[in-house]
Amino acid sequence: MSEIERKFLVGEVPADLGAGDHLRQAYLAVDGATEVRVRATGERCMLTVKGGHGLERDEVEIEIDRDRFDALWPLAQGRHLEKKRHRVAVGDHTAEVDRYEGTLTGLTVVEVEFASVADAERFAVPDWFGRELTGEPGWSNAALATDGRPG
């Protein structure tokens, strides 16, 4: 499957985000443009493989049980991150605002997924989104988990 997504460094965090969902994710392997991660949100756990860089990437997700997540989590030592995810309606789209925790506290990014590249290119970017990060080295979640926030 393909994922078409744009990512931005939030300039001004909206005041009405609500509680959000707590996400824990860890990168089991990162090899060039391919990454393998596990993620837990509440009781739901996923194993995800992504490939490629930029606007359009390949993505395969498989639901796993909590025991498998707990067994895989420590295998990604030094490549973990935690964040609160807030969903915000932006026109016909849903923006996912991620407020990072731990060593990345203070970092807020927003991502929007699209049905097509044309849809992504037509998207009217709200002012509060800030600078676009799509495809920029160092700003993927895998890079943030491994290397921290880019300088």
Active-site residue set: 27
Residue 36 token pair: 């393998």
User: Are 56 and 118 a contacting pair, CB within 8 Å?
Assistant: no
Q: Tell which residue, 97, 54, 104, has the closest CA to residue 79.
A: 104
At 8 the three-state DSSP class reads strand
Distances (CA, A) of 46 to 24, 40, 66, 67, 108: 11, 7, 9, 12, 23
Residue 132 token pair: 């676009």
Distances (CA, A) of 31 to 9, 34, 51, 52, 117: 25, 5, 9, 11, 25
